[in-house]
Amino acid sequence: MTAASSPSTKNDEARTDVYGIERAYDDEPGAVDKVRERSPFVDHIMRTLDRYGSEGGNQFAAATTYYSVLAIFPLLMLLTAGAATVLASRPDLFQQLQDRITESVSGDLGSTLNEVLETAVDQRGAMFGIGGLTTLWSGLGWMNNLRVGISAMWKIDANEGGTFIQKKLSDLLGLIGLLVALVIAFGVTAAGSSGLTQKVFDWVGIESFPGMNIVIFLVGLVVGLIANFLVFGWLIVILPRTKVPKKSGLMGALIGAVAFEVLKQLSTVIMSSAAGNPAGAVFGPVIVLMVVMYLVWRVVLYVSAWTATTEESLVNAEDVDVPAPAIIRVRNEMKSGPSTGTTLGIGAALGAVGAGLVALLRRK
């Protein structure tokens, strides 16, 4: 019967560093790892998914959606107050609007709408005050969550550094910049889809030609992509609290522009299908708004994670070269001779005998 061999305590020379310490190592690569090694594109996609999931992308998208919806109603109040101010300065326009409401809506409902319109004009100052304060509060919360989420994709804590006032001023400037970018984007998109291309053809004397509808569609699509590119350029390059590499930032803005255009077309289909039934007509717009906004912010965060994990961005990141963990090998040793307890007992006995002899000598 052969005795079992004891585990080896000798270091693996192939995995021992210059300090004589054996370092831990990864397992052999699996199928996915081999594909990632062969395809840089797949490796980048996997890095993007890992960064998005590890940094809480879904949670940030949900929080940003909440503040986005919350900021819409004060913005609508401000728009209503602005329209009421215009009507108050133009009595003729106000009277025309009331006459149009009376002609279009008969009965008590028409009278109620006119009363609501008169109340809005009379209380436009209060609407400006309430709408402005609530828009400022909800808008700053919206911008803060969005900035923190995008910065998190870069593994940066956007709440670090700066005073409370500095952060709120930065969020306010970011909110104004985002609103300006959105106004420009949707204005350009509206101009491209409002028949402006057809009017341009009419101005130059071109009535029709083969494939004219396709050209008009492509012009509107290109204009929409340019508008989307402006918005995502602001979100991806300007908004994070870090320096974004230009090449990666522009490529990310382009990817986001294409994805955003697909979402806009998808939201139109969802909205039209939701309005086809009574329940959808009542709750559909709000639900569709929340779903579309959630998808939009997920796209923004995914694109941010993609931009943050490009080779260019990873090279610029400050990575500290930390050695791998050391491997500790336990060594069991058997020592011959008396144990520690026996040695201490013998020492105590000898000490007692010596003390007795000293006492006897002193008596003599």
pLDDT, one tens digit per residue, over 233-279 is 888 988 888 888 989 999 999 999 999 888 877 777 776 666 666 65
Cα 336 to the center of its chain, rounded Å: 66
Q: Domain for residue 164, yes or no?
A: yes
Q: Domain for residue 189, yes or no?
A: yes
Rounded CA separation 279/274 (Å): 8
In this prediction the pTM is 0.68
Range 31-48 burial, b when 16+ CB lie within 10 A, else e: eeeeebeeeeeebbebbb
Would you list the DSSP string of 208-237?
--TTHHHHHHHHHHHHHHHHHHHHHHIIII
> Is the predicted pLDDT of residue 86 greater than 70, yes or no?
yes
Instruction: With beta carbons less than 8 A apart as the criterion, state whether 304 and 233 touch.
Output: no
Rounded CA separation 222/272 (Å): 24
Q: Domain for residue 99, yes or no?
A: yes
Rounded CA separation 132/79 (Å): 10
Helices (H), the chain: 31-38, 40-54, 57-89, 91-104, 108-122, 124-152, 164-193, 196-203, 212-233, 246-274, 278-308, 311-316, 340-363
Q: Domain for residue 253, yes or no?
A: yes
Look up the domain containing 48 and give its range.
40-315
Q: Domain for residue 17, yes or no?
A: no
Q: Domain for residue 354, yes or no?
A: no
> For the chain, how many structural domains are there in total?
1
- For the stretch 154-192, pLDDT in tens is 998 877 766 778 877 887 887 787 777 777 776 666 666
The CB-side HSE value for 329 (13 A sphere, CA atoms) comes to 14
